[in-house]
């Protein structure tokens, strides 16, 4: 149901929490007791991670069953029943916190992403995430962004070229950097270059790059950049994007808007697990 790398995250997270044993549950809950638990929304949000939530219980005890009521990507209202867990009560209790920690973070990311996506509806701009994810949870953070309607930027340093200011300075200018990129590693990837001003935009255009990132530019400057580029490259707006200004940026006509906040400053969605012994 989930991929091997996600399974590994779940296993490690259970090990981190349970360590040498859940000393409370072992003492107070008979191992044979069965139970049922309801995952209930305590707020309005976009559901993301219900499969991860499910797999966490199965990973702890493969006989625990989880019935999914709401699918990933759906919006729920406060009070909605999202999933129903049944099986060994002690197993459910041991996995409860980890399953919720994962589920609430992912749903929090999806919910915030959905707000950004909603804000730019009608414009061509797609909302991109960044590499500002929580270390060792990137695949889940990125999955949550997709479930919220966003689009993934490169996953890591290995699957996309993004020539930033530091690379440009080290290479001795945009042209030199782009040439070095094309020569040293001529893999079949698109080349994106970060620019800080219109002069740099022009240079990037002359180099024939595939995507131009407008980094931390004001809305008026970005407007001029879009005019300059005139469809000869894709354009990504980046830096200081907020729910307040994202629509204005989209209105300029950029292709992508990347938002670090989606994953670096997440408010966990509020989900509770109501457990009942049978």
Helix (H) or strand (E) holding 118: helix 89-119
Question: Under DSSP, is residue 115 helix (H, G, I), strand (E, B) or coil?
Answer: helix
Nearer to its own copies, 169 or 220 (CB): 169
Q: Contact between 211 and its own copies (CB under 8 A)? A: yes
Nearer to its own copies, 8 or 65 (CB): 8
Residue 194 falls in the annotated catalytic set: yes
Q: Contact between 224 and its own copies (CB under 8 A)? A: no
Q: Contact between 277 and its own copies (CB under 8 A)? A: yes
Q: Which one from 164, 182, 223, 224 is the annotated catalytic residue?
A: 164
Residues 167-186 that bind its own copies (CB under 8 A): 167-171, 177, 180-181, 183-186
Which runs of E-coded beta strand occur in the chain?
Answer: 34-41, 45-46, 65-68, 75-76, 81-88, 126-128, 161-163, 191-195, 211-215, 234-238, 256-258, 271-277
Q: Is 43 exposed, middle or buried (0-12, 13-18, 19+ CB in 10 A)?
A: middle
Number of residues that bind its own copies (CB under 8 A): 93
What's the closest the beta carbon of residue 219 comes to its own copies, in angstroms?
21
Structure tokens, 187: 């893999």
Question: Under DSSP, is residue 20 helix (H, G, I), strand (E, B) or coil?
Answer: coil
Residues 23-82 that bind its own copies (CB under 8 A): 23-30, 33, 35
Residues 131-170 that bind its own copies (CB under 8 A): 131-139, 151-164, 166-170
Binding characters for its own copies, 251-270, by CB under 8 A (x = yes): -----x-------xxxxx--
Tell me the chain's radius of gyration from C-alpha atoms.
23
Nearer to its own copies, 63 or 218 (CB): 63
Specify the stretch interacting with its own copies by CB under 8 A; choose among 10-18, 43-51, 72-80, 221-229: 10-18
Residues 234-253 that bind its own copies (CB under 8 A): 234
Question: Under DSSP, is residue 15 helix (H, G, I), strand (E, B) or coil?
Answer: helix
| Contact in structure between 111 and 46 (CB atoms under 8 Å) | yes
Binding characters for its own copies, 88-127, by CB under 8 A (x = yes): -xx--xx--xx-xxx-xx--x-----------------x-
Residue 97 falls in the annotated catalytic set: yes
Residue 115 falls in the annotated catalytic set: no
What's the closest the beta carbon of residue 155 comes to its own copies, in angstroms?
5
Specify the stretch interacting with its own copies by CB under 8 A; choose among 1-9, 199-207, 223-231, 246-254: 1-9
| Contact in structure between 236 and 258 (CB atoms under 8 Å) | yes
Angle (deg, nearest 10), helices 89-119 and 50-60: 160
Backbone angles phi, psi at 272, to 5 degrees: -115, 155
What's the closest the beta carbon of residue 90 comes to its own copies, in angstroms?
8
Backbone angles phi, psi at 236, to 5 degrees: -120, 125
What is the spatial distance between Cα 121 and Cα 226, in angstroms, rounded to a whole number? 19
Residues that are catalytic: 97, 132, 164, 194, 215
């Amino acid at each position: 149901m989930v991929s091997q790398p996600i399974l590994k995250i779940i296993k490690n997270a259970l090990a981190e929490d349970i360590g040498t044993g859940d000393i409370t549950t072992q003492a107070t809950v008979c191992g044979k007791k069965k139970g049922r638990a309801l995952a209930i929304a305590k707020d309005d949000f976009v559901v993301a991670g219900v499969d991860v939530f499910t797999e966490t219980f199965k990973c702890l005890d493969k006989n625990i069953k989880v019935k999914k009521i709401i699918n990933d990507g759906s919006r729920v209202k406060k009070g909605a029943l999202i999933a129903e867990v049944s099986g060994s009560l002690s197993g459910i209790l041991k996995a409860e916190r980890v399953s919720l920690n994962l589920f609430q973070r992912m749903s929090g990311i999806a919910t915030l992403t959905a707000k950004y996506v909603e804000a730019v509806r009608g414009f061509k701009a797609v909302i991109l995430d960044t590499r500002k994810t929580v270390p060792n949870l990137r695949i889940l953070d990125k999955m949550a962004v997709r479930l919220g309607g966003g689009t993934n930027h490169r996953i890591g340093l290995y699957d996309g070229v993004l020539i930033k200011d530091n690379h440009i300075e080290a290479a001795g200018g945009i042209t030199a950097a782009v040439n070095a990129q094309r020569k040293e590693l001529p893999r079949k990837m698109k080349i994106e270059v970060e620019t800080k001003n219109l002069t740099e935009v022009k240079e990037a255009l002359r180099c024939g790059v595939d995507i131009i990132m407008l980094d931390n530019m004001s809305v008026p400057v970005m407007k001029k950049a879009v005019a300059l580029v005139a469809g000869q490259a894709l354009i990504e707006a980046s830096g200081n994007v907020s729910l307040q200004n994202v629509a204005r940026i989209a209105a300029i006509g950029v292709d992508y808007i990347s938002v670090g906040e989606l994953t670096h400053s997440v408010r966990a969605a509020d989900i509770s697990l109501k457990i009942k012994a049978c």
